[in-house]
Amino acid sequence: MIVLLKKDPDVRQLQNLMDWLKSMSLEIHVSKGANYTVLGLVGDTSAVDIDLIQALDIVENVKRIQEPFKSSNRKFHPEDTVIDINGIKLGGGHFQIIAGPCSVESEAQVFEVAKCVKAAGASILRGGAFKPRSSPYSFQGLRGEGIRLLLKAKAAVGMPVITEIMDISQLPLFDEVDIIQIGARNMQNFELLKALGKTSKPILLKRGLSSTIEELLMSAEYIMASGNERVILCERGIRTFETHTRNTLDLSAVPILKKLSHLPVIVDPSHATGVAALVPSMSLAATAAGADGLIIEVHNDPPHALCDGAQSLTPEGFAALVPRILKIAAIVREGARQ
Ligand code: PEP
Ligand code: MN
């Protein structure tokens, strides 16, 4: 971290600042120029409050040269993290497709979709039980019953399952769930992140609607700093001024995240676009951008879905898309080996 001081700083204030920085075990290198003095801070600056320093009278500017995230940082862990989900590997060249309905609606519905997506090549089944809806009058999910039906489908079809948690009080219901999803709206629910950091389940962390890439990584840091290193990052579109899509898919986040972090990165083209017709092209593009996997909504009867029907692929549409995705994934994997 570099602290640029204002011209002729007050000596007492400068001494206070230096004492405070030293109390955090930081080494301070002072460079005095004709007009300005620069303090170079060496050591672990992750706990230093940059805004607090910036607000001091004697400080002109502060710049972090080291990222504030450590556990997820590729600099300290150059190898890709590979997450084992009940024998299915994700990350480090292992590409997986997660698919299923937005919400579990009934036993027949989740069983049918599960069978279709498995036959088409998906390796993990998704299905929401606790649904974060913008309106309290919309379908809120089958809650505990939804998880029960999803687990029944898991046993019947033989696929690991992922479902969203909205509150830590729901955790006892997640014992047999293979991946716990933290939705976009909860990306910065820090108490939830810390609590899930104390579990050993893989966590799919979705990027918040208006969150920066660094904020996503800092949220991953919350989970990892609490002890759970099995975090999967998910780009699911961010809010912009564009109205043709539900969100704007920030595909550049994929190579940026993979450069900054060793964690697996997957893309959700369904919530990113909100339009089923856009899901195939965005799935292919996300795969080409280097994503480690995709999470795609599929419904057996999209026009009658209780949630997100407009962005759901039919089983046939999904089955036609998977081989195209896998071709691109193979090309990307081949390119990475060269
Ligand atoms: C979902 O996966 O159904 C969901 C609600 O996702 P997001 O949190 O990305 O909106
Ligand atoms: Mn959905």
Q: pLDDT category, 44, cuts 50, 70, 90?
A: confident
Q: pLDDT category, 33, cuts 50, 70, 90?
A: confident
The contacts of residue 93 (CB under 8 Å, 6+ apart) are 80, 333, 336
Contacts 24+ apart (CB under 8 A), 143-151: 144/173, 146/103, 146/104, 147/104, 147/173, 147/174, 147/177, 149/104, 149/106, 149/107, 149/110, 150/104, 150/110, 150/125, 150/177, 151/176, 151/177
What does pLDDT average to over the chain? Answer: 96
Q: pLDDT category, 78, cuts 50, 70, 90?
A: very high
pLDDT in tens, 211-249: 999 999 999 999 999 999 999 999 999 999 999 999 999
Percent of the chain predicted with pLDDT > 70: 100
- The CB-side HSE value for 97 (13 A sphere, CA atoms) comes to 29
Q: pLDDT category, 187, cuts 50, 70, 90?
A: very high
What pLDDT is stored for residue 232 in this prediction? 98
CA dist 189 and 280 (Å) reads 32
pLDDT in tens, 125-149: 999 999 999 999 999 999 999 999 9
What pLDDT is stored for residue 140 in this prediction? 97
- Is 247:238 a contact under the CB 8 Å cutoff? yes
Residue of 98, 102, 210 to test ligand 1 pocket, by largest number of atoms within 8 Å of CB: 102
Whose CA is closest to 311, among 251, 270, 280, 256?
Answer: 270
Q: Which position has the higher pLDDT, 37 or 287?
A: 287
Q: Is the CB of 184 under 6 A from ligand 1?
A: yes
Q: Look at the block and give the residue holding tokens 């890709």.
A: 80
Model pTM score: 0.91
Instruction: Locate the ligand 1 atom nearest the alpha carbon of residue 126 and give its number.
Output: 2
Percent of the chain predicted with pLDDT > 90: 92
Q: Is the pLDDT reported for residue 32 higher than 90? A: no
Which tokens is 201 given? 């389940």
Please give the distance, rounded to the nearest whole angstrom, from the Cα atom of residue 101 to the centre of ligand 2.
8
